[in-house]
């Protein structure tokens, strides 16, 4: 038996911009939402240094600081935030059930959560290579010259040489975007041809500011906490040659993976695992279950768009609850006829 049971009208899984924005709106609607923090409280922004493209901060703001502001605003209106590792869910009927453990490694279910509505804001994680120097600061240089989002961080690499690792459409888009800022962009690809669509590959090859390093793998990211990225150790797998290249930034562009494995047996998803909303609202194929943020967005992946979909999901959940409560309170035909007699 679980040690604790919780029942809520609105449960939000995830505490990034999408989840906490949903919490702000749900709390202001007097729905007393519960936010379940994931393994990375605050989401991807907690490992981002300067955020300069979020409205309202003319001088920019550190990612962790921004998420502290999000959290404080959500709690101000009555949001409850807990930490538990959700092991499995049951979405077969309302209220939905979420089974929580104290940690990923634990075998014991300690918390059972009942949710009249569920907002999934579990985000997506960039795929990484696992090479030395790639980890977030302070262990590595992640967020200090190493990034997985050119749109987010490209501005900080004005006038320097950077490398983009990857060979798909994501890498092509990142490389082309970075030419607006960087002095030179090197695309590092381990094969002798791209996997990207022809039009994206052709644009990359035609760009004078982009040079492709074919049959090349990134082995290590070099630098210090004080200087950031200063170079990269590369390996040519045809020539069997390892060498160092001076560089000012590294962008890993091998794709993202939505954190939606928990719901694969319940919700409609695309081939990659992004949850499919119904198009008009943020509701999924299960009434009362909504998706927001990067868990359902493979295209924009920005903090501000995630926050927007969190707002939408909360409004959708509020309307869903109002409509279902109204239906529950309405008299049945039999009761109505009896009342007339």
Determine which one of 90, 107, 152, 311 is catalytic: 152
How many angstroms separate the CA atoms of 156 and 148, rounded? Answer: 13
Distances (CA, A) of 279 to 54, 259, 283, 309: 25, 20, 8, 12
Q: How far apart are the C-alpha atoms of 171 and 168, rounded to whole Å?
A: 5
SS3 percent helix, strand, coil of the chain, rounded to 5, is 30, 30, 40
Out of 87, 90, 105, 149, the active site residue is 149
Spot the catalytic one: 116, 153, 294, 316.
153
Buried b or exposed e, range 18-56, using 16+ CB within 10 angstroms: bbbbbbbbbbbbebebbbbbbebebbbbbebbbbeebee
**Is position 153 annotated as part of the catalytic site?**
yes
The sign of the CA dihedral 303, 305, 308, 312 is: negative
Q: Is 311 a catalytic residue?
A: no
Asked if 246 and 165 touch (Cβ cutoff 8 Å), the reply is no
Find the helix packing angle between 63-76 and 17-28, rounded to 10°. Answer: 20
* Residues with catalytic function: 149, 152-153
């Amino acid at each position: 038996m679980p040690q604790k049971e919780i029942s809520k009208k609105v449960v939000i899984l995830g505490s990034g911009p999408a989840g906490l924005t949903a919490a702000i709106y749900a709390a202001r609607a007097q729905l007393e939402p519960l936010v379940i923090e994931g393994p990375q409280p605050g989401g991807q922004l907690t490992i981002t240094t300067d955020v300069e493209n979020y409205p309202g901060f003319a001088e920019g703001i550190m990612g962790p600081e921004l998420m502290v502001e999000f959290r404080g605003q959500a709690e101000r209106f009555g949001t409850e935030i807990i930490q538990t590792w959700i092991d499995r869910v049951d979405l077969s009927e309302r209220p939905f059930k979420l089974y929580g453990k104290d940690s990923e490694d634990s075998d014991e279910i300690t918390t059972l959560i009942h949710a009249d509505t569920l907002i999934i804001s579990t985000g997506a994680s960039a795929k990484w290579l696992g090479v030395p120097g790639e980890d977030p600061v302070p262990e590595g240089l992640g967020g200090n010259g190493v990034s997985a989002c050119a749109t987010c961080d490209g501005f900080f690499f004005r006038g320097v040489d950077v490398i983009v690792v990857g060979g798909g459409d994501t890498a092509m888009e990142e490389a082309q975007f970075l030419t607006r800022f960087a002095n030179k962009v090197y695309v590092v690809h381990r094969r002798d041809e791209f996997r990207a669509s022809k039009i994206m590959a052709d644009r990359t090859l035609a760009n004078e500011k982009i040079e492709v390093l074919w049959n090349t793998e990134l082995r290590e990211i070099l630098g210090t906490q004080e200087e950031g990225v200063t170079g990269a150790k590369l390996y040519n797998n045809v020539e069997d040659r390892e060498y160092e290249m001076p560089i000012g930034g590294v962008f890993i562009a091998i794709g993202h993976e939505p954190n939606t494995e928990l719901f694969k047996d319940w919700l409609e998803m695309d081939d990659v695992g992004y949850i499919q909303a119904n198009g008009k609202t943020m509701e999924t194929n299960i009434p009362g279950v909504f998706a927001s943020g990067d868990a359902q967005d493979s295209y924009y992946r920005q903090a501000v768009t995630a926050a927007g979909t969190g707002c939408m999901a909360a409004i959708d959940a509020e309307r869903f609850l109002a409509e279902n409560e109204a239906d529950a309170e309405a008299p049945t035909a039999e009761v109505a006829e009896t009342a007339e007699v």
